[in-house]
Amino acid sequence: MNHSDAPPSSSGGDPIVFYDIASGPPIRPFAPNPWKTRYALNFKRAPFVTQWVDLPDVESTRKSLGVEPVRFHADGAPFYTLPAIRDPDAGDKVVGDSFDIAVYLEDRYPQAPSLFRNGSMGLYASFNTHMDTVFPMGAALAGEHFPFNPATAEQSKAAFCRRLGVQSWDDLILSKEARAGILSGLQKSLGDVAKYFRFAGDGGPFLGGKEADYADIIIGGWLMMFCETVPEWKEIREWHGGVWGRLHDGLEPYRGTW
């Protein structure tokens, strides 16, 4: 987003509407990219309400907001995603990508702590892209633990199968051996990321030390997905000297309520 597009600041009117993906009841946030936005909204102390969207309704919701897709399937077809936000207090401005939302919030709430140190958004954007190549391999571990809404689970499973080119949902359920293989691959890849914490100084818990910023939120969003959907989370949080558990716990004040 161009900085000149941003409204001057909040006038304290209607809250931002945050479109997040609903789990089955009782509803809880679990999706990694929406978690980045939830953390950023709380970090910037932005007034917001959550509009829960059932997985099969993500496409129609995004279309109704008139926001262009930011992801595409392998065949080039649009992949409709959340998060998105709508800001009624800024002429119903809609933003539909977690990173763009963070940039928007930084401009919108200049008095709140900064998400980006030294205004270096480009560096954070490239870090975001990098992390989005490392963490998704862990998503396969959710499998049968994915918190579908029972009312629409079959529809959602069919969509996942089409997307991944498999015949049935059962094909996506991992054997014990496959699970162990993914865990060990994830551990190796996260080991490279864990090395970034050597700059944290005095035990972190964040990448930049004692204060969180958007780089921690990028990782934290993925860790929330592990925490909510991956049974091995207790093990993962202890990997690499416990950097994951410490960062996750350090972000607790920014989780808010829903």
Ligand X SMILES: N[C@@H](CCC(=O)N[C@@H](CS)C(=O)NCC(=O)O)C(=O)O
Q: Name which of 56 and 242 has its Cβ closer to ligand X.
A: 56
> Does 71 engage in binding with ligand X (CB under 6 A)?
yes
> Does 161 engage in binding with ligand X (CB under 6 A)?
no
> Does 81 engage in binding with ligand X (CB under 6 A)?
yes
> Does 102 engage in binding with ligand X (CB under 6 A)?
no
Query: How far is residue 34's CA from residue 97's CA, in Å, rounded to a whole number?
Result: 9
> Does 50 engage in binding with ligand X (CB under 6 A)?
no
Taking alpha carbons only, the member of 247, 176, 174 closest to residue 216 is 247
Query: How far is residue 145's CA from residue 88's CA, in Å, rounded to a whole number?
Result: 36
Taking alpha carbons only, the member of 253, 182, 179 closest to residue 217 is 253
CA distances from 102 to 97, 243, 258 (A): 9, 24, 19
| Overall residue count recorded for the chain in this entry | 258
Looking at 16, 46, 58, 183, which residue binds ligand X (CB under 6 A)? 58
Smallest gap, in angstroms, from Cβ of residue 80 to ligand X? 7
Looking at 87, 97, 213, 216, which residue binds ligand X (CB under 6 A)? 97
Q: Name which of 87 and 205 has its Cβ closer to ligand X.
A: 87
Looking at 18, 19, 29, 33, which residue binds ligand X (CB under 6 A)? 33
Smallest gap, in angstroms, from Cβ of residue 97 to ligand X? 4
> Does 230 engage in binding with ligand X (CB under 6 A)?
no
Q: Name which of 31 and 215 has its Cβ closer to ligand X.
A: 31
Which two structure tokens, joined as six digits, stand for 213?
């910023």
Smallest gap, in angstroms, from Cβ of residue 100 to ligand X? 8
Query: How far is residue 212's CA from residue 247's CA, in Å, rounded to a whole number?
Result: 9
Q: Name which of 158 and 180 has its Cβ closer to ligand X.
A: 158
Taking alpha carbons only, the member of 59, 255, 23 closest to residue 146 is 23
DSSP class per residue in 45-108: T--EEEEEE-GGGHHHHHHHHT----EE-TTS-EE----EEEEGGGTTEEE-SHHHHHHHHHHH
> Does 98 engage in binding with ligand X (CB under 6 A)?
yes
Residues at the contact surface with ligand X, assessed by CB under 6 A: 21, 31-33, 55, 58, 70-71, 81-83, 97-99
